[in-house]
Amino acid sequence: MALRLTKAHLIEWRKARGGNSIGVTRCGDATFRWGERTYVMGIVNVSPDSFSGDGLSTVESAVAQGKRFAEEGVDIIDVGGESTRPNSSPISIDEELRRVMPVLEKLVAGVKVPLSVDTYKYEVARRALDAGVRMLNDIWGLKAEPKLATLAAERNVPIILMSNQRDKQQRYIVSAVISDLKMAIDVALDAGVRWDNIIIDPGIGFGKTLEQNLELVRRLGELKALGRPILLGTSRKSMIGLVLDLPLDQRVDGTAASVAIGIANGADIIRVHDVPQMMRVSKMGDAIVRRKRG
């Protein structure tokens, strides 16, 4: 769908779907008041072949990292068991459950910060919610498994919908992402997900070229027309390595730059590996952009 999805069209669409306000989102005992500040999501990868080089091979190390993130003040912890690097091989449901469930169960019992599960598999998501997870993070935006929307609706939990172009690359990336996310939102709403429980993610690095990733960060504010909070995940990604010609362990500065520009352009959540550094970036960004201090 070409971007004759104008801003006026999207405003009318939001009204028709009952989404006149961005509202607030409740996640377990936490409340996200969108627009007041930038929220920080810490990444716990329980995968030996994580693209970011931070894959944790033991339950103990993953739980320790999650607890450290909680102590550092992170707002939500996102646990994933399958690598999302390009050309990675999918793993079975049983293998994903084996990796993530012990970590999720121990973190639910050990931290007060709400947990999210990074999965597109229904059974993994169901088991995670049964264990006390309070948010779903779907990198396929309901294209791989639409029943995740029904699950989110039944459990009344927030769901992150990502725009993923790995199945079909696009030429005009901003219009393609807006169209893709609009369709994902429609699927979620039709399944009974509350408007306030939908979060969108442009999917930096997922089927986009370097120039398209840079363009999405630069034009991130255009996604605001969809009326939902925006999650931005640029942390340690290949676009930073390509621009700066740096390996994974030297991408903190590049991540910080992309996060700061993302906040200036409307990001509501940042999904990061380097929590203390990016929390400082978000605090400084909020002081400038949102006039919020402390």
Which of the residues are catalytic?
A: 237, 271
DSSP 138: E
Distances (CA, A) of 136 to 36, 101, 132, 139, 236: 23, 14, 12, 10, 22
Q: Nearest 5°: CA angle at 121, between 62 and 199? A: 80
Six-digit token pair at 194?
């509350």
Sheet strands side by side (includes 115-118): 198-201, 159-162, 135-138, 115-118, 76-80, 39-45, 269-272, 231-232
Q: How far apart are CA 202 and CA 195, in angstroms?
A: 18
Write the single-letter amino acid at 209.
Answer: T
DSSP 90: P
24 bridge partner residues: 33
Report residue 193 CA to chain centroid gap: 17
